[in-house]
Amino acid sequence: MEYFENLRETIKDVPASNILNFDETNLSDNPGNSKCIFKRGVKYPERVLNSTKGAISIMFSGTAAGEILPVYVVYKADNLYSEWIQGGPRHTRYNHTKSGWFDSQTFEDYFKRIVLDWASGLPGKKVVICDNLSSHLSVNIIELCESHDIQFVLIPANSTHLTQPLDVAFFGPLKKIWRKILLQYKMENPNQSTLNKNHFPKLLKSLIDQIQLTELKNIKSGFKASGISPFNPREVIKRIPEYHEELQSYTIDETLL
């Protein structure tokens, strides 16, 4: 409850357009399992598609007003080639690390190019909600926040499935659309053993285009379900099993009375 008390004071009188949540996810090279049709009598049906355990890291950012900011892509590579950044969504930023994940340097670049660009065009206080990874905080980031009237709210550990808007309602449908796009890509390119980085920007553009047509409402739903906008901690508390049991027991007692 301390988190919600802090959140209440921080977002007081802050419009939905000034509240931002960002979160890192990955788009894998595996389209997953699906139902297939085979001839009668086949004893060992199987679908063979080239895939690996590889994945590309992406930082998504969304506001409580339902706006998706440009995405930030991080490849697992020692260098970044021009072919890997052509044909993607507008204003997308690209970078690379040896691990393929965000580190403090790439996060700071993301913050300057995406978050500050968003914040600089808005009047008044801005609130950024994120998990408490160590790479998200540094002296430079704190100084940038102070100079641009940005306040951080760190989500409690092990609660992102309840309190992180993008986790709650956005990434699930996103991954479902991505698997369909990837499956179509695998069917059209059967000889590709891995997801070709030359092709990835166009696949990402297809994903973003489909999200913008169908999934913007999910961002607003995520902020509502996580109790942020509109502010309502009960939206989160009621999804905790222990609380639900107590609420159900209380309802039965009231009925009996």
Could you report the per-residue pLDDT of 179-194, keeping only the tens digit for each?
999 989 988 888 877 8
Average pLDDT rounded to a whole number, residues 251-256? 52
**Residue 167 resides in a domain:** yes
Tokens of 19: 């509240």
pLDDT given at position 254: 56
Average pLDDT rounded to a whole number, residues 29-49? 61
Q: What is the mean pLDDT of the chain?
A: 86
Query: Per-residue pLDDT for 48 more than 60?
Result: no
**Residue 199 resides in a domain:** yes
Query: Per-residue pLDDT for 52 more than 80?
Result: no
Q: Name the residue range of residue 37's domain.
A: 2-231
Average pLDDT rounded to a whole number, residues 9-13? 95
**Residue 256 resides in a domain:** no
**Residue 243 resides in a domain:** no
Percent of the chain with pLDDT over 70: 84
**Residue 240 resides in a domain:** no
pLDDT given at position 37: 65
**Residue 112 resides in a domain:** yes
pTM metric for this prediction: 0.84
Query: Per-residue pLDDT for 174 more than 90?
Result: yes
**Residue 163 resides in a domain:** yes
What is the distance between the alpha carbons of residues 51 and 198, in angstroms, rounded to a whole number? 16
In this structure, what are the phi and psi dihedrals at residue 96, rounded to the nearest 5 degrees? -150, 150
For the segment 113-142, what is each residue's pLDDT rounded down to a tens digit? 999 999 998 999 999 999 887 777 889 999
- In this structure, what CATH number is given to the domain that contains residue 194? 3.30.420.10
In this structure, what are the phi and psi dihedrals at residue 46, rounded to the nearest 5 degrees? -155, 150
Q: Which residue has the higher pLDDT, 193 or 143?
A: 143
What is the distance between the alpha carbons of residues 147 and 3, in angstroms, rounded to a whole number? 24
**Residue 36 resides in a domain:** yes
Q: How many domains does the chain have?
A: 1
Average pLDDT rounded to a whole number, residues 43-58? 64
In this structure, what are the phi and psi dihedrals at residue 174, rounded to the nearest 5 degrees? -60, -50
Query: How do strand 72-76 and strand 93-97 relate by DSSP bridges?
Result: parallel
Percent of the chain with pLDDT over 90: 66
Query: Per-residue pLDDT for 47 more than 70?
Result: no
